[in-house]
Structure 1
Amino acid sequence: MKFNVILDRDEDGVWIVECPSIPGCVSQGQTREEALENIKDAIAACLEVRAELGLPLTVETHQVEVTV
Protein backbone atom coordinates (compact mmCIF):
# COMPACT_ATOMS: atom_id res chain seq x y z
CA MET A 1 0.00 0.00 0.00
CA LYS A 2 1.11 3.55 -0.65
CA PHE A 3 0.51 6.42 1.76
CA ASN A 4 1.20 10.12 1.52
CA VAL A 5 3.21 11.48 4.44
CA ILE A 6 4.11 14.96 5.67
CA LEU A 7 7.75 15.52 6.54
CA ASP A 8 8.98 18.51 8.56
CA ARG A 9 11.84 19.48 10.87
CA ASP A 10 11.34 20.66 14.43
CA GLU A 11 13.30 23.42 16.16
CA ASP A 12 15.98 20.91 17.24
CA GLY A 13 16.52 19.62 13.69
CA VAL A 14 14.71 16.32 14.25
CA TRP A 15 12.66 15.13 11.27
CA ILE A 16 8.98 14.58 12.11
CA VAL A 17 6.83 12.56 9.74
CA GLU A 18 3.06 12.08 9.85
CA CYS A 19 0.62 9.97 7.86
CA PRO A 20 -2.56 12.10 7.66
CA SER A 21 -4.76 9.25 6.43
CA ILE A 22 -4.09 7.30 9.65
CA PRO A 23 -5.04 9.42 12.68
CA GLY A 24 -2.24 9.58 15.25
CA CYS A 25 0.34 7.91 13.04
CA VAL A 26 3.51 9.92 13.61
CA SER A 27 7.20 9.09 13.79
CA GLN A 28 10.57 10.85 13.73
CA GLY A 29 14.24 10.43 12.97
CA GLN A 30 17.56 12.22 13.22
CA THR A 31 17.81 12.18 9.42
CA ARG A 32 15.18 12.44 6.70
CA GLU A 33 15.91 8.87 5.62
CA GLU A 34 15.61 7.54 9.18
CA ALA A 35 12.29 9.32 9.66
CA LEU A 36 10.91 7.85 6.42
CA GLU A 37 12.01 4.34 7.42
CA ASN A 38 10.49 4.80 10.89
CA ILE A 39 7.11 5.91 9.52
CA LYS A 40 6.87 2.66 7.56
CA ASP A 41 7.04 0.73 10.84
CA ALA A 42 4.60 3.15 12.47
CA ILE A 43 2.11 2.78 9.60
CA ALA A 44 2.24 -1.02 9.83
CA ALA A 45 1.73 -0.90 13.61
CA CYS A 46 -1.11 1.64 13.39
CA LEU A 47 -2.91 -0.40 10.74
CA GLU A 48 -2.60 -3.53 12.89
CA VAL A 49 -4.00 -1.81 15.98
CA ARG A 50 -6.84 -0.17 14.05
CA ALA A 51 -7.79 -3.55 12.55
CA GLU A 52 -7.75 -5.20 16.00
CA LEU A 53 -10.00 -2.45 17.36
CA GLY A 54 -12.38 -2.68 14.42
CA LEU A 55 -11.65 0.89 13.36
CA PRO A 56 -11.49 1.99 9.73
CA LEU A 57 -7.91 1.49 8.61
CA THR A 58 -7.68 4.94 7.05
CA VAL A 59 -9.66 8.15 6.82
CA GLU A 60 -10.23 10.09 3.65
CA THR A 61 -7.91 13.05 3.19
CA HIS A 62 -7.53 15.61 0.46
CA GLN A 63 -4.50 17.60 -0.50
CA VAL A 64 -5.25 21.04 -1.89
CA GLU A 65 -2.70 23.62 -2.97
CA VAL A 66 -3.47 27.26 -2.24
CA THR A 67 -1.57 30.39 -3.21
CA VAL A 68 -1.27 33.23 -0.71
Structure 2
Amino acid sequence: MSQNIRQVIMYRDEDGYWIVECPSLKGCVSQGKTKEEALLNIKEAISGYVAALKEDGLPVPEENFETFLVVV
Protein backbone atom coordinates (compact mmCIF):
# COMPACT_ATOMS: atom_id res chain seq x y z
CA MET A 1 0.00 0.00 0.00
CA SER A 2 1.49 3.34 -1.00
CA GLN A 3 1.46 6.30 1.35
CA ASN A 4 0.76 9.86 0.35
CA ILE A 5 1.42 13.06 2.20
CA ARG A 6 -1.36 15.61 2.64
CA GLN A 7 -1.16 18.89 4.47
CA VAL A 8 -3.88 19.59 7.00
CA ILE A 9 -4.98 22.61 9.01
CA MET A 10 -5.94 22.12 12.64
CA TYR A 11 -7.73 24.55 14.91
CA ARG A 12 -9.89 24.50 18.00
CA ASP A 13 -13.59 25.39 17.74
CA GLU A 14 -15.72 27.23 20.29
CA ASP A 15 -16.76 23.92 21.91
CA GLY A 16 -13.14 22.85 22.49
CA TYR A 17 -13.02 20.21 19.76
CA TRP A 18 -10.09 20.10 17.36
CA ILE A 19 -11.14 20.57 13.73
CA VAL A 20 -8.89 19.30 10.96
CA GLU A 21 -9.26 20.14 7.26
CA CYS A 22 -7.40 18.91 4.20
CA PRO A 23 -7.46 21.89 1.79
CA SER A 24 -6.35 19.90 -1.26
CA LEU A 25 -9.42 17.64 -0.88
CA LYS A 26 -12.42 20.00 -0.92
CA GLY A 27 -14.79 19.27 1.94
CA CYS A 28 -12.53 16.73 3.65
CA VAL A 29 -12.93 17.72 7.31
CA SER A 30 -12.89 15.83 10.59
CA GLN A 31 -12.66 16.52 14.31
CA GLY A 32 -11.69 15.05 17.65
CA LYS A 33 -11.69 15.79 21.37
CA THR A 34 -7.89 15.73 21.35
CA LYS A 35 -5.31 16.62 18.70
CA GLU A 36 -4.33 12.96 18.45
CA GLU A 37 -7.92 11.84 17.93
CA ALA A 38 -8.50 14.56 15.32
CA LEU A 39 -5.38 13.50 13.39
CA LEU A 40 -6.42 9.84 13.42
CA ASN A 41 -9.88 10.83 12.21
CA ILE A 42 -8.60 13.00 9.35
CA LYS A 43 -6.31 10.17 8.20
CA GLU A 44 -9.39 7.94 7.91
CA ALA A 45 -11.34 10.72 6.20
CA ILE A 46 -8.57 11.30 3.65
CA SER A 47 -8.27 7.57 2.93
CA GLY A 48 -12.03 7.26 2.45
CA TYR A 49 -12.18 10.38 0.27
CA VAL A 50 -9.40 9.15 -2.04
CA ALA A 51 -10.88 5.63 -2.18
CA ALA A 52 -14.29 7.04 -3.17
CA LEU A 53 -12.76 9.15 -5.93
CA LYS A 54 -10.86 6.14 -7.32
CA GLU A 55 -13.96 3.93 -7.08
CA ASP A 56 -15.93 6.50 -9.09
CA GLY A 57 -13.13 6.80 -11.67
CA LEU A 58 -12.48 10.42 -10.75
CA PRO A 59 -9.03 12.02 -10.55
CA VAL A 60 -7.42 12.42 -7.16
CA PRO A 61 -6.32 16.04 -6.67
CA GLU A 62 -2.62 16.57 -6.14
CA GLU A 63 -1.34 18.19 -2.98
CA ASN A 64 -1.05 21.86 -3.87
CA PHE A 65 -1.38 23.68 -0.58
CA GLU A 66 1.17 26.16 0.74
CA THR A 67 1.17 27.81 4.14
CA PHE A 68 2.21 31.31 5.02
CA LEU A 69 2.18 33.38 8.18
CA VAL A 70 0.88 36.90 7.75
CA VAL A 71 1.75 39.66 10.18
CA VAL A 72 -1.14 42.07 10.68
TM-score by length of 2: 0.82
Partner of 1:19: 22
The 3-state SS of whatever aligns with 1:8 is: strand
- State the Cα deviation string for residues 3-26 of structure 1 (Å, max 9, x = none): 100001100000000111111111
Structure 2: how far apart are the matches of 1:62 and 1:3? 9
CA offset at residue 64 of structure 1?
4.5
Structure 1: how far apart are the matches of 2:67 and 2:47? 26
CA RMSD of aligned residues (A): 1.5
CA offset at residue 62 of structure 1?
3.4
Partner of 1:67: 71
- State the Cα deviation string for residues 8-66 of structure 1 (Å, max 9, x = none): 11000000001111111110000000000100000000001111222221255332423
The 3-state SS of whatever aligns with 1:50 is: helix
Write out aligned runs for 1:1-68 (5 A). Answer: 1-59=4-62, 61-65=64-68, 66-68=70-72
Q: Provide structure 1 residue ranges, at least 5 long, that are not aligned to the other structure.
A: none
Give identity over the alignment, percent. 54
TM-score by length of 1: 0.86
Aligned residue pairs total 68
